[in-house]
Chains A and B, each alone.
Chain A
Amino acid sequence: MTSLDVTMTVNGRTVTGRVEARRTLADFLRKDCAATGVHLGCEHGVCGACTVVLDGCTARSCCTLAVQADGAEVMTVEGLADGTDLHPLQEAFWARHGLQCGFCTPGILLTMRELLADNPDPSEEEIRESLSGNICRCTGYQFIVEAVKDAAAVLRASSADRG
């Protein structure tokens, strides 16, 4: 069984490790990089709780081997806030009660971040479609949808300020 050296950037820090080829990126991030905000809800690519940003696009870290991410840049939910300033999505989820147990939340936040980057003013239907790859068993999604709408408005306003 091969073990390989891998190097990647996780939330801005370079990490190196020697991993078995079979080790999933999710386990590498959780156990070897202490990024325990990466959650394993199904380990077969359906629930979305393990979603991370891999080289700029969201990816299921349970469906990716750590060795596949050698040389990559990875962001987890731990990298979402700016210092101690919560990201507008985090603020909106807090204000709108967009989470209950919070287990699915890291994956949802990163998925919604990608949605809003691609589509700054999504309709409710577009938000729901984009959310449909992430299972939340607690909320019934309505307050998540409302939080995403709020965050989108905040992000649009701040990009207008900058622009």
Chain B
Amino acid sequence: MTEQHLPPGLIGARVRRKEDPRLLTGRAQFVDDVALPGMLEAAILRSPHAHARIVSVDVSAALELPGVFAVITGAEVAQACALPQPVIWRLIPDQRMTDLYALAHDKVRYVGQGVAAVAAADRYVAEDALGLIEVEYEQLPAACTLDEALADGAPLLYENWPDNVSCRQTVPKGDVATAFAAADVIVSETITYGRQMGTPLETRGAVVSWDPFTDRLEAWLSTQSPNLARDLLGEVLGLPVERIRVRTPDVGGGFGNKFDFYGEEVVAALLSKRSGRPVKIIEDRLESFVANAHSREQRIEVEVAAKSDGTITGMRGTVYGVLGGQLSTVGIGPCWAATVLMPGPYDIPNVEVTVVGVVTNRSPYGSYRGWGQPKANIAHERIVEKLARELGMAANDVRRKNLIAPDKFPYPSPVFYYDSGRYEECLEAAERAVVDRGWAKRQAEAAKEGRSLGIGYSFHIEISAIGPSRILNQAGLQHSGFDEESVRIDSTGGVIVRSGLSAMGQGIQTALAQVAAQTLGVPLDSVTVLTGDTETNPYTGYGTGGSRGAALGGGALLRASTRLREKVLRVAAELLEASPDDLVISDGRISVAGTGVGGRSVSMRDVGDATYRRLDGKLPLGETPTLEERDVLDPDNTAFSYGTTAVLAEVDRETGRVQVLDYLIAHDCGTVINPMIVDGQLHGGAAQAIGGALFEEIVYGPDGQPLTTTFMDYLIPTASELPAFETVHLTTTADHIPGGFKGMGEAGTIGGASAITAAIDDALRDLGVGVVQLPITPPRLLSMIEAAEAGGTATDVEEQS
């Protein structure tokens, strides 16, 4: 396999982030820090019922409260909008769409659905006014769980549908029936993945100012996808997009939750139009637990056919996505991804996977870092572990037997072409690191003290660099997937990069600055990266999600900067009376190669001056003034990163508590721009994976009431619950991406739960426990342990709550 080689330099360097000084000193500007003259603050009245018909809404008392400027109801929103809330992922042509508006007007279909909104002098008064709005509901029987929604005679969320199934699609590859008929062994499993969410520490927010005289809209959104949001605001509000400006201030974490387009953005706009004032809506934490995208909740049935030597010949699977009461921006997307990626890194010739999307009286299912892939991963990794137990083999030997070999790339999976990888080498790198860290010895020594330690592995792949626009469109995406970047050198030699990506903590400004600085040969300090304004910055398709920012933005910027460098050399050549081919650039100086220190050279400032200000006799004839290039990268394919996760965990058999003691990721994301940032992304993703495996669950009561609406109940792990993380890196470049970059922003979230469950099984191997429900809370694990000790079925978990 060919590899792209970049000269050593800033690409690959552990440089400090350019974003940090502002963030460290309180000088950042998050959306709640935006304050405009005359700005109002809004609050939304939310449904207390899981399923009810709205009989009447009386806002008259709220309107009379001093300090209230505008009130809007669901019926008024529907009237004011050109279109209902959009669904951009339309992967299944005959999918039933929910087509609801930003606020409910006929029925409410989940607790927390918006019904009316108030704009007032401040948030205190807005909340006072919510208490004065009278809504009469007629409560309806609810379908709060997957089983309730699929039951015969279930209450219908959408009365014009025959049932609660929004969509069903089967994706085949090869001949799965023959594979299963000819199998030496068949193993199957049903896995329940709990409802979880991204919970960025900054909740979502919007500040929108609608000029009622010109119909121009200025919006500040805490969003990962400013261009998408602008286009969708235009569609929903019926405005031409050139009148809409979306600014993205500092974003306090996104994790997919802020990729989606929510009703609050629309409500803020309409309240602004109505009041003639800028309107701010900041979701509070309680609201975030019902109004922000939920995710992960699926029931997954998976089975594989295999030969007795461990070779997997066929896979069948069905994913039931628990979608909630209306489709989110990404529709069936994450559940579909979980389904079509279920074979994962394994070379399985015959596959048949089915996705079923089911609406329930719960909050909508949307984006969360990983986007289906943690569930695909738990399906293939749990079934590999089970197959290994069935065959009496080591799980990693079954993995080795089936991992896609390096010479099989590009590898056709049921839907995607995996571009490149050295999967087995990655697995072995992790195995070696585990030996080096002495886990087996720790496990044996603990056993002597009566403690139960386990070692677990998982292998994951991650789709990144999303993605070829036309192919995404053919698949059903109502948006593009390219990225555009621009780079300019100013009259004093300083570099400005403009990007349509959002800076949300992932260090994109630093990563892009490293790419530009290395390519142009300038110091990192001379590069400024500007993000967060659709009016002045380039267009990025999709948004800052799908692990695409650094790969596609970096690739586009590399190409633009390369062309800009050529122009710099042509101008410098004129100044130095030399040939461009003889020039080198280093640290912002352009000199004739081989002349050494003190030789003839000009600075980037000289070149800037010759290009912008004092051109005569300096700028070569035929060159246009200014130094600016742009590039659009619409890649030929996505790029697949991959990794092995290894976990050492301890199980307390008396309480069911699991403590992760050590954590290791061997990882390959092609050319690394900044290893420190990559490690930080892996750590943070792994922390979310641990949360999802052991702690985090959005729990509903039998009446559809959410029971986890505070940080006291939705348990994000703290520093005391998390281990130290170790990373090992391989580099297999993506040859179709300039620079060879692959994305990796979601990597840590994908394989963590699988490795943790494997470690738990290993710690309890004498009991034959196999974890198939996540999160595996202490009560759940204790009941599995007790059932196994009593000789019952170890996988029967008593459902609580």
Residues of A in contact with B (beta carbons under 8 Å apart): 20, 22-23, 30-31, 35-44, 46-47, 49, 76-78, 80-81, 86, 90, 93-95, 97, 99-106, 109, 127-129, 131-145
Q: Which residues of B contact A138 (CB under 8 A)?
A: 201, 253, 505, 680, 684
Please give me the residue from chain B that is nearest to A94 by CB atom: B20
Q: Which residues of B contact A140 (CB under 8 A)?
A: 680, 683-687, 722, 725, 748
In the assembled complex, how far is the CB of residue B634 from the closest CB belonging to chain A, in whole angstroms? 28
Whether B251 is near chain A, meaning CB under 8 Å from some CB there, is yes
Please give me the residue from chain B that is nearest to A22 by CB atom: B124
Q: Could you list 19 examples of A-B contacts with CB < 8 Å?
A: A22-B124, A37-B26, A37-B28, A44-B285, A46-B710, A47-B285, A90-B24, A101-B23, A101-B250, A103-B30, A128-B720, A132-B720, A137-B201, A140-B686, A140-B687, A141-B683, A143-B679, A144-B719, A145-B719
Q: Are A94 and B505 in contact (CB under 8 A)?
A: no
Whether B255 is near chain A, meaning CB under 8 Å from some CB there, is yes
Q: Are A103 and B677 in contact (CB under 8 A)?
A: no
Q: Which residues of A contact B253 (CB under 8 A)?
A: 100-101, 103, 137-138
CA distance in complex: A35, B23 (Å): 13
Q: Which residues of B contact A102 (CB under 8 A)?
A: 19-20, 22-24, 28, 250, 252, 505
Whether B32 is near chain A, meaning CB under 8 Å from some CB there, is yes
- 20 further interface pairs, Cβ-Cβ under 8 Å (given A23-B124, A44-B710, A102-B252): A40-B32, A41-B201, A42-B711, A43-B284, A78-B26, A93-B24, A94-B16, A100-B505, A101-B23, A101-B504, A102-B23, A102-B24, A105-B23, A109-B24, A128-B722, A131-B718, A133-B718, A141-B687, A141-B718, A145-B719
With A42-B711, A101-B504 already in contact, the answer to whether A94 and B29 are too (CB < 8 A) is no
Q: Are B719 and A78 in contact (CB under 8 A)?
A: no
Contact count A vs B, C-beta below 8 Å: 175
A interface majority secondary structure: loop
Whether B421 is near chain A, meaning CB under 8 Å from some CB there, is no
With A44-B711, A100-B505, A101-B505 already in contact, the answer to whether A141 and B722 are too (CB < 8 A) is yes
Q: Which residues of A contact B725 (CB under 8 A)?
A: 140, 142
Q: Are A100 and B506 in contact (CB under 8 A)?
A: yes
In the assembled complex, how far is the CB of residue B783 from the closest CB belonging to chain A, in whole angstroms? 27
CA distance in complex: A144, B748 (Å): 18
CA distance in complex: A23, B253 (Å): 27
Q: Which residues of B contact A97 (CB under 8 A)?
A: 16-17, 676-677, 679-680
Q: Are B712 and A46 in contact (CB under 8 A)?
A: yes
Q: Are B710 and A132 in contact (CB under 8 A)?
A: no
Please give me the residue from chain A that is nearest to B683 by CB atom: A140
Residues of B in contact with A (beta carbons under 8 Å apart): 16-17, 19-30, 32-33, 35, 124, 198-203, 250-253, 255, 284-285, 504-507, 676-677, 679-680, 683-688, 710-712, 716, 718-722, 724-725, 748
Pick the residue among B25, B200, B505, B679 that contacts A81 (CB under 8 A): B25
CA distance in complex: A22, B84 (Å): 38
Q: Are A128 and B20 in contact (CB under 8 A)?
A: no
Q: Are B33 and A36 in contact (CB under 8 A)?
A: yes
Please give me the residue from chain A that is nearest to B711 by CB atom: A46
With A35-B26, A93-B24, A138-B505 already in contact, the answer to whether A100 and B684 are too (CB < 8 A) is yes
Query: Which of B26, B255, B718 has the largest number of chain A CB atoms within 10 A?
Result: B26
Q: Are A127 and B20 in contact (CB under 8 A)?
A: no
In the assembled complex, how far is the CB of residue A66 from the closest CB belonging to chain B, in whole angstroms? 12
Q: Are B24 and A99 in contact (CB under 8 A)?
A: yes
B interface majority secondary structure: loop
Q: Are B26 and A106 in contact (CB under 8 A)?
A: yes
Please give me the residue from chain A that is nearest to B35 by CB atom: A31
Q: Which residues of A contact B676 (CB under 8 A)?
A: 97
Q: Which residues of B contact A136 (CB under 8 A)?
A: 201, 719
Q: Are B26 and A47 in contact (CB under 8 A)?
A: no
Q: Which residues of B contact A44 (CB under 8 A)?
A: 285, 710-712
Q: Which residues of B contact A94 (CB under 8 A)?
A: 16-17, 20-21, 24
Please give me the residue from chain B that is nearest to A146 by CB atom: B724
Q: Are B719 and A141 in contact (CB under 8 A)?
A: yes
Q: Which residues of A contact B684 (CB under 8 A)?
A: 100, 137-140
CA distance in complex: A128, B720 (Å): 5
CA distance in complex: A86, B24 (Å): 9
CA distance in complex: A77, B22 (Å): 11
Query: Which of A39, A77, A129 has the largest number of chain B CB atoms within 10 A?
Result: A39
In the assembled complex, how far is the CB of residue B11 from the closest CB belonging to chain A, in whole angstroms? 17
Please give me the residue from chain A that is nearest to B723 by CB atom: A142
CA distance in complex: A106, B250 (Å): 14
With A102-B252, A102-B505, A140-B684 already in contact, the answer to whether A135 and B20 are too (CB < 8 A) is no
Please give me the residue from chain A that is nearest to B721 by CB atom: A132
Please give me the residue from chain B that is nearest to A133 by CB atom: B718
Q: Are A49 and B201 in contact (CB under 8 A)?
A: yes
CA distance in complex: A47, B688 (Å): 16
CA distance in complex: A105, B506 (Å): 15
In the assembled complex, how far is the CB of residue A42 from the closest CB belonging to chain B, in whole angstroms? 4
Please give me the residue from chain B that is nearest to A105 by CB atom: B23
CA distance in complex: A20, B718 (Å): 34
CA distance in complex: A111, B679 (Å): 25
Q: Which residues of A contact B30 (CB under 8 A)?
A: 36, 39, 103
Q: Are A42 and B710 in contact (CB under 8 A)?
A: yes
Q: Which residues of A contact B203 (CB under 8 A)?
A: 41
Query: Which of B504, B684, B685, B686 has the largest number of chain A CB atoms within 10 A?
Result: B684
CA distance in complex: A138, B507 (Å): 11
In the assembled complex, how far is the CB of residue A134 from the closest CB belonging to chain B, in whole angstroms? 8
CA distance in complex: A90, B203 (Å): 24
Nearest 10 Cβ contacts at the A-B interface: A37-B26, A101-B505, A102-B23, A103-B252, A140-B683, A100-B505, A140-B687, A46-B711, A131-B719, A132-B718
Please give me the residue from chain A that is nearest to B510 by CB atom: A97
Q: Are B25 and A103 in contact (CB under 8 A)?
A: no
Q: Which residues of B contact A139 (CB under 8 A)?
A: 680, 683-684, 687
Query: Which of B32, B720, B748 has the largest number of chain A CB atoms within 10 A?
Result: B720
Q: Which residues of B contact A143 (CB under 8 A)?
A: 679-680, 683
CA distance in complex: A97, B674 (Å): 11
Pick the residue among A20, A36, A128, A131 that contacts B26 (CB under 8 A): A36
Q: Which residues of B contact A127 (CB under 8 A)?
A: 719
Q: Are B17 and A103 in contact (CB under 8 A)?
A: no
In the assembled complex, how far is the CB of residue B280 from the closest CB belonging to chain A, in whole angstroms? 11
CA distance in complex: A43, B201 (Å): 11
Please give me the residue from chain A that is nearest to B676 by CB atom: A97
